[in-house]
Amino acid sequence: MARDLRLSCRCGKLGGVATGVSPSNSNHVVCYCRDCQAFARWLGVDGIVDAHGGTEIVQIAPAQVRWNEGTEQLRCMRLAEGGLLRWYSDCCRTPVGNMVSAKIPFVGLPRTVFAVLPDAAVGPPLGVQARFAQGETPPGAHRYAPLGMIVGTVWKLSRWWLTGKGRPSAYFDDATGVPRVQPRVLTTSEREPLRPS
């Protein structure tokens, strides 16, 4: 059954909703990649990653996300030129979405932005990119992303693209495809110390 899930930054200034979320129209992952770990370190707040450096993320179509309150708090950054657009709240530095571009109908919402995230709404999480995990590899996590997940994600992206689920977007201007906030791009000297060895 699809559910609407309330979204909020930690301090509550930025608020919204993820609509119609279900296991069939979402991916639920824990990503251990170096870039997700670097982003969490750059934000500088506790509770984003688990003990192994994993970020729990729900991936859905952009049209399912609406920010209704405090949109002036939205900020955006990239770890490098051409990297993922990583959105966060300026007020309390809560991560609130990862996207490639306006042309790809896909947004990853970190667990920390959900007020409540029932497993029934998104299914159990799947660990990916565990070759970058800190310490021992978490049980059941995959070194890369399993083929079944890749195929399923391509199918979802194709369906979302064909049905126009990339718009309206809470993150991009729908007419121009330009991010609603100018992204800050880190320099090499800013980025490299953030990445785990």
User: What pLDDT does residue 14 have?
Assistant: 98
- The tally of domains found in the chain comes to 1
CATH classification at residue 56: 2.170.150.70
Q: What is the per-residue pLDDT across 131-156, written as a single tens digit (0 to 9) for each?
A: 999 999 899 999 999 999 999 999 99
- Which domain does 95 fall in, by range? 3-194
- Helix (H), strand (E), coil (C) string for the chain: CCEEEEEECCCCCCEEEEEEECHHHCEEEEECCHHHHHHHHHHCCCCCECCCCCEEEEEECHHHEEEEECHHHEEEEECCCCCCEEEEECCCCCEEEEECCCCCCCEEEEHHHECCCCHHHHCCCEEECHHHCCCCCCCCCCCCCCHHHHHHHHHHHHHHHHCCCCCCCCCECCCCCCECCCCEECCHHHHHHHCCC
Q: What is the per-residue pLDDT across 43-98, written as a single tens digit (0 to 9) for each?
A: 999 999 999 999 999 999 999 999 999 999 999 999 999 999 999 999 999 999 99
pLDDT of 197 strictly over 80: no
User: What pLDDT does residue 119 have?
Assistant: 84
Predicted model pTM = 0.93
pLDDT confidence band for 120 (50 / 70 / 90)? confident
pLDDT confidence band for 118 (50 / 70 / 90)? confident
